[in-house]
Amino acid sequence: MTAHPEYLWRNGELVKWEDATIHLTDLAWGAVGAVFEGIRAYTTADGQGLNVFRLPEHMQRLRDSSRLVRLPLSYSVDDLIGFTIELLRANNVHEDTYIFPLVHIGGDHAQRNDPRSLVAAMYMRHNPSVTHLCTGLAHHARVSSWTRISDNVMPPRIKNISNYRNGQLANYEAKLDGYDSAILLGPQGKVSEAPGACLMMVRHGKLITPDTTSGILDSITRNAVITLATDLGIEVVERTVDRTELYLADEVFLCGTAAEITSITQIDHFAIGSGEMGPVTSQLESLLLSIFRGENADYAHWLTPVY
């Protein structure tokens, strides 16, 4: 495959990659108004099929994100599902793929500061992205010196582009300090999430995760993990989490579309549990991979087939 797919999707039609241009000056403040989604498609175990994971939920969230920033997105969830399948088929995609729709402010510069005249524009692209599940990936994390944005500063629960400087600063700091990931605390010093992924911990046999008013993104993977754990008979608790609980946890992992499930085996130089990926993390990881690959009929309703 070439470095980019042949087509991307823009404002209701497939366009050649080379033809999808905007004027340079449309960047600048235009980018502040954008919202997006991160979605994954996985090949089936036999390599023949391709399924998108929880596509309706992602497209519903794209509509919610647009609504919250007052972008009048005219497409229904069904329209958006159709466009995604059309794009993947046009590019003949047969590999694990990350799909990125972006809704941004279109039209005239002059209208951009008046919500009554906002015009929504949208494009969607994708790129190959192989799963890391069941490859033994484990991260060392630090608690960031940056605070997670709070709900009356920026809307943390939606994928609002301008939110992401916050996590980026935390990531830069963590990487420069020799860690793989950051964990952000909210303004009250309680655990929120990692940049781009939600956090779960296991302690005394329970799965504990910050609740949806802890400044977290309203994560579809988090919701899936809660369902899976509950179905496995594990008690799930959504509540405020203290920083020091992380250090005493038996297991900690991140979850999200990009992170899938990523085990955290060390935080601020505390080994988490045994210092290796724990049994609950590993069980959830295998289960999720079998679902992604279309091998688990119980959760087949989470998959939208492309072929």
Ligand X SMILES: *Cc1c(COP(=O)(O)O)cnc(C)c1O
CA–CA dist 15, 11 (Å, integer): 9
Select the residue interacting with ligand X from 17, 38, 150, 173 (CB under 6 A).
38
Name which position in 196, 215, 273, 278 contacts ligand X (CB under 6 A): 196
159 binds ligand X (CB under 6 A): yes
Q: Does 201 bind ligand X (CB under 6 A)?
A: no
- Phi first, then psi: what are they for 150, rounded to 5°? -110, 165
Nearest distance, CB of residue 110 and ligand X, angstroms: 31
Q: Are 264 and 141 in contact (CB under 8 A)?
A: yes
Segment interacting with ligand X (CB under 6 A) among 43-51, 206-214, 219-227, 293-301: 219-227
Q: Check: CB of residue 164 under 8 Å from CB of residue 149.
A: no
Which among 32, 221, 292 is positioned nearest to 209, based on CA atoms? 221
Q: Per CB under 6 A, does 215 bind ligand X?
A: no
Q: State in angstroms the smallest separation of the CB of 255 from ligand X.
A: 6
Among 30, 186, 215, 256, binds ligand X (CB under 6 A): 256
The answer to whether 220 contacts ligand X (rule: CB under 6 A) is yes
Catalytic-residue membership of 190: no
The values of phi and psi at residue 98, to 5°, are: -105, 130
Q: What does residue 71 show for φ and ψ, rounded to 5 degrees?
A: -95, 120
Q: H helices then E strands: how many in the chain?
A: 6, 17
Residues that bind ligand X (CB under 6 A): 38, 159, 167, 193, 196-198, 217, 219-222, 256-257
Which sequence positions are flagged as catalytic? 159
